[in-house]
Amino acid sequence: MGPELQVGLYVFVLAIFVGFELITKVPPTLHTPLMSGANAVSGITIVGALACAKAGEGTIANMLGGLAIATAMVNVVGGYLVTDRMLHMFTKKDR
Amino acid sequence: MSDAIFLAYLVAAVLFIFGLKLQGKVRTARKGNMVSSLAMLLAVAATLLKINQNTGTGPGQLIPPAWIFIIIGIVVGSLIGAITAMKVQMTSMPEMVALFNGSGGIASSLVAIAYFLLNKNLGTETTLADAPAIFGPSVAVTLALSVMIGGITFTGSIVAYAKLAGKITGAPILLPGRHFLNFGMMASVLVIGALLAFVVPGNTMVTIFLLVLLFMVFALGVLLVIPIGGADMPVVISLLNSYSGIAAAMTGFVLGENLLIIAGALVGAAGLILTKLMCKAMNRSLANVLFGGFGTADSKGTSGKEGYTNVKEASPEEVAMILEDAQSVIFVPGYGLAVAQAQHANRALQTLLEERGCKVRHAIHPVAGRMPGHMNVLLAEADVPYESLVEMDEINPEFKNTDVVIILGANDVVNPAALTDKDSPIWGMPILHVHEARTVFMVKRSLSPGFAGIRNELFEADNTLMVFGDAKDVLQKMILELKEA
C-alpha cells in the first residue's frame, strides 16, 4: 500500500464514522429529504468526471467523461432541488 | 494541484459535513441542504479552474475541443435534473430518488472507465501485467470496485424505479436457481475485476475486459433487485443510496482525491443507517430482504382473496355517521394513500373533524410507503401539521383509547398476525396496534393481500369494517356526508 492509499483509507473510515454520528439521530420525518440530499452529495464524482473529460483531446475517454458529467449533474442538480422542494413543505408553516 | 484549489476542496469537505449536520433537524434542514449544495458548487468551480490552468486553444478554435464535452455535459445534465426535480409529484418521490441514484452510480462507473482509458496508454507497450505498475495495485483494485459498485447501483436503481413506477410488476420476480446464478455472477465479476486489476493480457484486451465487466455488473444489478418485492423497497432504495456513495468514494481512491472519499463515505454511512433502520422496522435481516424473495407463493401463509368468511363492509356514509360522534380518530396512511393521491383529501377530513372537537392524529409506521419517511413527505405536502404525525412506539399505547382508526391503503404494517401467528412470514415485525381501537375502518380497493401476499386477520376482526374503494374517493364522500351532518 502506498502512502496515498493509506491516508485515503484513514480518511474513508473516519468519514464513515462522522456520517454515522451525524445521521443516527435524524427524526423519521426527515428520512426522505435526508436520503435525496445525501444522494445529491454522491454526485461529487462530477469532480472526477470533469478531470477525465478534460485530459486528452477528443478521445473516447473524453466522451465518457462528458457523459459522466451529464449523469452526475442530473444527480446533483435534481437531488438538491427536489430536496429543497420537500424541505420547503416541512418548514413553510414556521414562517 | 495548487494550494488554492486544495484549500477550496478542504472547505467543500467541511461544508458537506456541516450541511449534513444541519439536515438532521427539521428547523435547519433546508439551510443544511443549501450549505451542502454550496459545497458542491465550490468543488465544481475549483475543479473547473484546476483543469483550465493548462488548456490552450489551437489556431482558429474558440474553445479547446475537450471543453465542448464539458459544457454540453453540464448544461444537458443540469437541465434534465432541474426539470425532473421541479415537475415530479410528491407521490412519485421514491421513483425520483431511485433514478437520481442510478444516475450518480453510472457517473462513478464512467469516470473510472474514462480514467482507465486515459492512463492505460501512458506506458509504451502496455500490457495488463503492467497495469498495476502504471496505476499501482491499489488504484487498479479501486478502479475495478468503482466500475462494479457504480454499475450495480445503476441498473439496480433502474429496476427499482420500474417497480415503483409500476412499469414492471412490484411482486418479486424469481428466476429458477437465482441464488446459484447470482452467486456465480458475483464470483465471476470479482474474478474479472481482479484480472483487470492485476493480470491484463494485452492492450486491446483491457478494453474488452472492461466492457465485459460492465455488462456483467449491469446484469448483476438487475438480478439482485428483481427478486425483491415492492414492500421491501424502502430497504433497497436506502441500500442503493449507500452504494452510490461508496462508488463515489472508490472513484476518489482512483483519482487520489480525498474530497470524493469524504463525500462518498458520508453518503455511504447515511444510506447504511437508513437501511438498518428499515430492516429493524420489519424485523428482518438485510440478507433476508435481499435474498428472501419475500411474499411469493413459496412463502408461508394463506394468500389470495379466498379464505375470508367474516368480512363486514361499511359505506363511506356509514363511516361518516360514526365519525360524527367520535372523540378521537387516528389515520394510518400507507402506500395506497400515495397511489390514490389522497393526502389532500385526508387533510380536509382532518380539518373537518378537528373543527368538530375531535382529536386527530396520524400513525406513521417506519416502513409505510416505498421509501423511508415517504408518508411524512406526502402529508407535509398537504399541510398536515408536524405535531399530528406520531411515530409507531408513541402511538401504539394510544390505540386502545381511540374511537376510530381509519386505515388508508396500509396493510402489512397493521396485520396482527405479526403478533399472534408464529408461522406467519411477518411474525415479529413491529406493527401498529390498530386492532385495539374501538372501531377500525379499513379503506382498501379489495381484499387482495399486500405486497407481502399475507392473509390479514384484521379484515375479519369483530371491530373491523371494510370500506372498499379508492382512498381519495372514499375520503371525499366522507367529507361530503360529514359536512351535511
Interface confidence, given as ipTM, is 0.94
Interchain proximity B73–A49, CB inside 8 Å: yes
Domain ranges of chain A: 3-89
Contacts of B383 in chain A (CB under 8 A): 93
What are the residues whose beta carbons fall under 8 Å from the beta carbon of B439, sequence distance 6 or more?
B322, B403, B404, B405, B463, B465
Strand partners, B407: B332, B442
Strands B359-364 and B328-333: parallel
Candidates A18, A68, A83; nearest CB to B33: A83
Strands B404-408 and B439-444: parallel
What are the residues whose beta carbons fall under 8 Å from the beta carbon of B207, sequence distance 6 or more?
B117
Residue-level pLDDT at B201: 46
Interchain proximity A48–B238, CB inside 8 Å: no
Candidates A19, A67, A88; nearest CB to B266: A19
Interchain proximity B372–A31, CB inside 8 Å: yes
- Catalytic annotation present for B393: no
Candidates B21, B48, B69; nearest CB to A66: B69
Helix (H, G, I), strand (E, B) or coil at B195: helix
Candidates B16, B108, B383; nearest CB to A41: B16
Interchain proximity B386–A5, CB inside 8 Å: no
| Joined grid coordinates for residue B319 | 363511516
> In this structure, are residues B140 and B132 in contact, taking their beta carbons and an 8 Å threshold?
yes
Across chain A, mean pLDDT equals: 86
> B81 φ, ψ to 5°?
-60, -45
Q: Does A2 touch chain B (CB under 8 A)?
A: yes
**B316-484 to CATH, choices 3.40.50.1220, 3.40.50.10860, 3.40.50.300, 3.30.360.10:** 3.40.50.1220
> What is the CA B291 to chain-centroid distance, rounded?
18
- Chain B's closest residue to A36, CA to CA, is B97
Contacts of B249 in chain A (CB under 8 A): 12
Write out residues 144-173 of B within 8 Å (CB-CB) of A.
Answer: none
Residue-level pLDDT at B128: 39
CA distance A2 to chain B (A): 8
Interface test with B, best of A74, A80, A83, A87 (most B CBs within 10 A): A74
Write out residues 62-91 of A within 8 Å (CB-CB) of B.
Answer: 62-91
> B329 φ, ψ to 5°?
-130, 135
What is chain B's pLDDT, residue by residue, as a tens digit (485 residues)?
588 899 999 999 999 999 999 999 888 999 999 999 999 999 999 998 888 765 555 555 556 667 888 899 999 999 999 999 999 888 888 889 999 999 999 999 999 888 887 776 544 434 434 444 456 666 777 888 898 999 999 999 999 999 888 888 777 777 777 778 888 888 888 888 777 766 554 556 677 777 888 899 999 999 888 888 877 888 899 999 999 999 999 999 888 889 999 999 999 999 999 998 888 888 888 887 777 655 544 443 444 445 677 788 889 988 998 998 899 999 999 988 988 889 999 999 999 999 989 999 999 998 888 888 889 989 988 989 888 999 999 999 999 999 999 999 888 889 888 888 887 778 888 999 999 999 999 998 877 766 556 778 888 888 899 999 899 999 999 999 888 87
Interchain proximity B81–A77, CB inside 8 Å: yes
Interchain proximity A72–B256, CB inside 8 Å: no
Q: How confident is the model over A54-73, as pLDDT tens digits?
A: 776 557 778 888 999 999 99
Interchain proximity A39–B101, CB inside 8 Å: yes
Residue where the block lists cell 442530473: A74
- Chain A's closest residue to B30, CA to CA, is A87
Contacts of B113 in chain A (CB under 8 A): 61, 64
Angle at which helices B137-164 and B203-225 pack, to 10 degrees? 40
Contacts of B391 in chain A (CB under 8 A): 28
- Chain B's closest residue to A94, CA to CA, is B27
Q: How many residues does chain B have?
A: 485
Backbone Cα Rg of chain A: 18
Candidates A11, A32, A37; nearest CB to B372: A32
